[in-house]
Amino acid sequence: MHNDVFCKIIRGEIPSYKIYEDADVLAILDISQVTKGHVLVMPKEHYENFLSTPQEVMHKVMNIAQRIGQVQIKMLGAKGVNILSNAYEAAGQTVMHFHVHVIPRYESNDNFHLEMKENNESLNLPAIADKIKL
């Protein structure tokens, strides 16, 4: 039995604001709302992160994340949605239980910043591509 905060929420040991629940997936409001309506979607079975989660479970989680994003736009007036999942501490994962953030976006100055910077000048892109080709 795992004792991370999400496993405790799934077992009902910690209260949460449930958005969706079925036999395999739970979606809750994030207690630290990045923007209004920020939701966490997770499998009920424990997996450390998306890298170790079976595909069929990933599909279930992402199907619910998509539906929640659609509702956030329709019912909350969001203008867009970010989907985010961190894998390991170096990427910002703080709870070692796979989960997807569904973050509604209202305007560009809504205090959530996910910045992508070009940094390919010193990189050997062909060599990198060769190393990670599937």
Active site (annotated) includes residue 59: no
Q: Which of 46, 99, 101, 113 is catalytic?
A: 99
Q: Exposed, middle or buried, 64 (CB in 10 Å: 0-12/13-18/19+)?
A: buried
Token pair recorded at residue 49? 């992160």
101's enclosing H/E stretch is strand 100-105
> Of 54, 20, 69, which is closest to residue 10 (Cα–Cα)?
20
Q: Where are the alpha helices (DSSP H) in the chain?
A: 5-10, 55-76, 125-132
Measured CA angle at 99 (ends 23, 102), to 5 deg: 100
Question: Which residues are tagged catalytic?
Answer: 99
